[in-house]
Amino acid sequence: MISIPYPIFYIVLILYLVFIFKKTKYLFGILILLVGILASYSYISYRLKPLPEGMVEGRFEVVDYTSGGLILKGEKRILVKDIEGKLKPGDVIEAKVKVSNLEEASYLGDFDAKKFYAAKRITNRGRIDSYTLVNQKWTLSRLKSNILDFYQSHLKEKSFSYVKTLIFGMNSLDSEVKEAYSIFYLSHLLAISGLHIHFIFQFLVFLFQRVLKINGEHLAISIIGLYVAFIGFPISCLRAFLFLFLSILNQRGRIQYTKLDIFSISFLGIVLWNPYQAYQSGFILSFIISFVLLFMEEYTPFHTKRRKAYFQTILCILSILPFLINQTNQIAILGILLSFIIGGVLGKYFLCFVFLVALVPLPYYECAFGVLDNILLYLSRFNPPIHVPSLSIISIVLYYIIFLYFLVCLTRKKKRYSGLYLFFYITILISIRIVNPYYTVTIIDVGQGDSILIELPQNKGNVLVDSYGSNTSYLKSIGIRKLDYVILTHFDQDHIGALGNTMEEFQVDTILYSAYEDVKKIKNATVPRIPIQSGDEIQWKGINIKVLGPIYSYSDSNSNSVVLSFNIKGYTFLLTGDMTAKEEADLIQKYGEALKADVLKVAHHGSNSSSSSDFLNSVSPKYAVISVGKNNAYSLPSVDVCARLEKISKVYMTKDNGNVCFKIGNTLKVEAYRQ
């Protein structure tokens, strides 16, 4: 499954086939399965080709909704926001919908909406321009919507959020609470998983045996099947249902299958149905944990029930650690130690309580959920994390090679200290920034705004120029915790909009800002704030950052943008904020040939109010980067500016390329996340 999107790993597939042939001399069945998976993948890939961006008119049915909005089904499936809140699943409408493409990841560890929604067969985002209601159908999704409306009217906010999350599979908890669950490695409690399905199954069988005096297994599994369909087939829930269903069939079959056989059949069934499920974190985590528990069931080195359960908990955390790192960019040691205790307390008892709330919806449960949230939040604050950069696919594969070796050693009771290999590898991952030999300058894809990161080798220092959008997520994803300077070119929202988050999430030593801006606009910043203007220099750990502008006080904020020039190992960078043609003319007059640079961060997102021909000829950059958002309201970048830039330089745009990173060692290397 890894091999499909990463062709380099086809060699792994070939080695696997060789291994199968040597073990069994039988390849026909495996090849049929592979052909089936590839055929399914190709068909769905064809069906997932997005609609062209622009206005689409036609008839649509609201088939479902997620936390991201409503799902409209027409020629394709489109995810839309229902601003008026009047539409429900089952509604058929004649509508004009402005569609756009789903966002792709901009850097390693970033959320990839295109891959995420592919599992739901959604191809585009959209905005309903106008619509007319044509018809209303009764569907399972509409019934679910009406039941949720009922619960929302009878429960308070926290109670409703837990019912919606744990009964209906729609995670709607507060972001801080979800993060607390992640810190204690308890996110699986927030997903409808095998725990839920087995609990419901055992409860129904018990009920049928005691009350109706029947065996009830087949009736119970039928009810669970309807429940799984009703909540929209969440993947961990579907896996658990298939496992139960096949286990019951196995009891009456002539051929007896092992648990691993049943597990494998469940996996293959889901993958053949929709191979894109295999790239969803819920699918990966669910199957990896289940596999490890099945595989290690007979080989646990402890005999007491408590020790065995704790060992299995640690093993499950290790089995999914790379994916947890890429979700949170941290390893919480206290979280690992306490996960068994907290998980044991919450486990089935917590699930029983939530089902009680669903059966008897009253407003009085709010206090209990509030106490639970506060305890988790309180404990999470005393859980200092170890920060880890996001892992590449190569790093993840290496981790699992070592982890599998560790499991094999456990089963054979050899190499008692094989776990040390895993420990040393994790230590290397944690320390990766310390051994990084490159200077890097990264123009971060933050949408319609600016944010640029300058890093020294061996994690010796970091400077952030402007703070907007998701820049804090990127900084965390590469393991940064401290910023020597935050330089604000000017105080427009698209340059300082994320300053509050930056101050909260990272240790910031000093803020530098344009001398001609009103410092009251950043009055909440509690660190030293120093105004800068043309002629100033920032001596930063061997790098001299020159402040070229603003030379004068201009009437608008854009013209007052700080302009920075710095040289790293012979390569010059020029960062220009949102400066206008007026400031450019003044810079040419004062600095002339000194404006030349290898890399230019293009001013004002490629607006025609900047980047005059005279200025670009003076700078004469080899590379130009435009920080600009996709489908922005200003129709940027300007076609004229792009034409002028393309005559003299290689042009990158964050809306197309994601993050654009310049690595400086002996040479200058450009890495665009999306080529």
- The pLDDT, as a whole number, for residue 343 is 72
Lowest mean pLDDT among 298-312, 370-384, 483-497: 298-312
The reported pLDDT for the residue numbered 32 is 86
Average confidence score pLDDT of the chain: 89
Number of domains forming the structure of the chain = 5
* Mean pLDDT in residue range 176-199: 79
pLDDT(247) > 70: yes
Instruction: Give the per-residue pLDDT at 66.
Output: 83
Find, among 86, 104, 103, the residue nearest to 95 by Cα.
Answer: 86
Instruction: Take residue 107 and report the two structure tokens written for it.
Output: 């850097």
- pLDDT category of residue 513 using cuts at 50, 70 and 90: very high
Residue 508 has pLDDT above 90, yes or no: yes
Segment 191-211 shows an average pLDDT of 83
**What is the domain-level CATH number for residue 645?**
3.60.15.10
CB atoms near residue 54 (< 10 Å) = 9
Give mean pLDDT, residues 601-628.
97
Q: Where a domain ends, among 375, 409, 430?
A: 430
Interior angle at CA 423, CA 420 and CA 428, nearest 5: 125
Q: Is residue 60 part of a domain?
A: yes
**pLDDT confidence tier of residue 255, bands split at 50, 70 and 90:** low
131 and 98 both lie in a single domain: yes
Q: Is 126 in the same domain as 192? A: no
In a domain, 2, yes or no: no
- Strand pairing of 623-626 and 650-653? parallel
Nearest to 454 by CA among 594, 574, 624: 574
Final residue of a structural domain among 137, 154, 177:
137
State the helix-helix crossing angle for 305-319 and 321-328, rounded to 10 degrees. 60
Q: Bigger pLDDT: 577 or 187?
A: 577
* Interval 322-334: pLDDT, tens: 988 988 898 888 7
- Domain shared by 248 and 164, yes or no: yes
The average pLDDT across 468-495 equals 95
Residues 521 and 468: their CA atoms lie apart, in Å, by 15
1 lies in some domain: no
Rounded to an integer, the average pLDDT of 276-302 is 80
In the structure, what pLDDT confidence band is assigned to residue 391 with cuts at 50, 70 and 90? very high
pTM, two decimal places: 0.89
* pLDDT of 10 strictly over 80: no
Query: What is the mean predicted confidence (pLDDT) over 485-511?
Result: 96
Mean local confidence (pLDDT), 618-624: 97
Residue 33 has pLDDT above 80, yes or no: yes
Tokens of 550: 């603003």
Looking at the predicted structure, is the pLDDT value of residue 551 above 70?
A: yes
Same-domain check for residues 484 and 529: yes
Q: Which domain holds residue 265?
A: 146-387
Decide if 332 is inside a domain.
yes
pLDDT at 628 over 90: yes
Q: What is the pLDDT of residue 541?
A: 95
- Residue 117 φ/ψ, nearest 5 degrees: -80, -10
Partnered with residue 61 across adjacent β-strands are 73, 92
Supply 307's token pair.
Answer: 């020790």
Q: Identify whether residues 560 and 419 lie together within a single domain.
A: no
Tell whether 314 and 419 lie within a shared domain: no
Q: Which two tokens stand for residue 618?
A: 């003076």
Judge contact between 192 and 324, C-beta under 8 A.
no
pLDDT at 504: 92
Q: pLDDT value at position 3?
A: 66
**Structure confidence by residue, pLDDT tens digits, 81-114:** 876 778 999 999 999 999 999 999 999 989 999 9
57's enclosing H/E stretch is strand 54-66
Q: What is the reported pLDDT for 121?
A: 92
Q: What is the pLDDT of residues 454-465, one digit of tens each?
A: 999 999 999 999
Q: Give the mean model confidence (pLDDT) for residues 657-667.
A: 96
pLDDT in tens, 340-374: 777 777 766 888 899 899 999 999 999 999 998 99
Q: Are residues 382 and 488 in the same domain?
A: no
In this structure, the answer to whether residues 512 and 615 fall within a common structural domain is yes
Among the listed residues 531, 526, 523, the one whose alpha carbon sits nearest the alpha carbon of residue 508: 526
